[in-house]
Amino acid sequence: MLRIGLDLDGTICNFDKHYYNRFNKYPSESIDWAVTRNVNYILKYDKSFWLTIPVLRKPNFIPTCYCSVRVNNPRWTKDFLKRNNFPDAKLYQLKGGWGTSKYNILKNKVDVFIDDSIWNFEDLNSKEVKCLLITTESNKDYDTPYRINSLDINEINKVLNYAN
């Protein structure tokens, strides 16, 4: 059985839209002091924000784990997953900011990881943790044979078999 790990923000939930609704600005438009301030000094303590992020997609399989870089209380992330009926799986929530590698957590734990971040995608694949890039508005023009458009196990297997 394939051990699949899933990213959270941008992969299974729509952090960017939720952030926009709160601050009237997309966090991906620029990495600036206001975004850093809002995340580290406001959202970090806002349980309601983390529990009400809109769901983007759900897997039709049981993942081995979820892995994300977030500043909030991991209990709130677990509550979000449970409230939204995501399959039960281990949560790895790393502290840090943009550019924090997930490699040390994921090595030897997954056969493939699914992420929306081009940075994470390149980082993991360069370190021999197979990563698939799930299509989002911010990465749609990035050319790779390791792209998927859903969390459907048949599509994942097809891409893995084709790209290998």
pLDDT digit of tens for each residue in the chain (164 aa)? 899 999 999 999 999 999 999 988 877 655 566 777 888 889 999 999 999 999 999 999 999 999 999 999 999 999 999 999 999 999 999 987 767 899 999 999 999 999 999 999 999 999 999 999 999 998 999 999 999 999 999 999 999 998 66
Asked whether residue 42 is domain-assigned, the answer is no
Residues with Cβ within 8 Å of residue 60, at least 6 apart in sequence: 151, 152, 153
CATH at residue 151: 3.40.50
Asked whether residue 116 is domain-assigned, the answer is yes
Asked whether residue 18 is domain-assigned, the answer is no
pLDDT at 29: 52
Full residue range of the structural domain in which residue 72 is found: 4-13+57-163
Q: Is 126 exposed, middle or buried (0-12, 13-18, 19+ CB in 10 A)?
A: exposed
Asked whether residue 77 is domain-assigned, the answer is yes
pTM, entire model: 0.94
Asked whether residue 33 is domain-assigned, the answer is no
Q: Which amino acid is at 98?
A: W
| Token representation of residue 12 | 């299974």
Asked whether residue 70 is domain-assigned, the answer is yes
Number of structural domains in the chain: 1
Asked whether residue 28 is domain-assigned, the answer is no
Asked whether residue 48 is domain-assigned, the answer is no
What phi and psi, each to the nearest 5 degrees, are found at residue 4? -115, 130
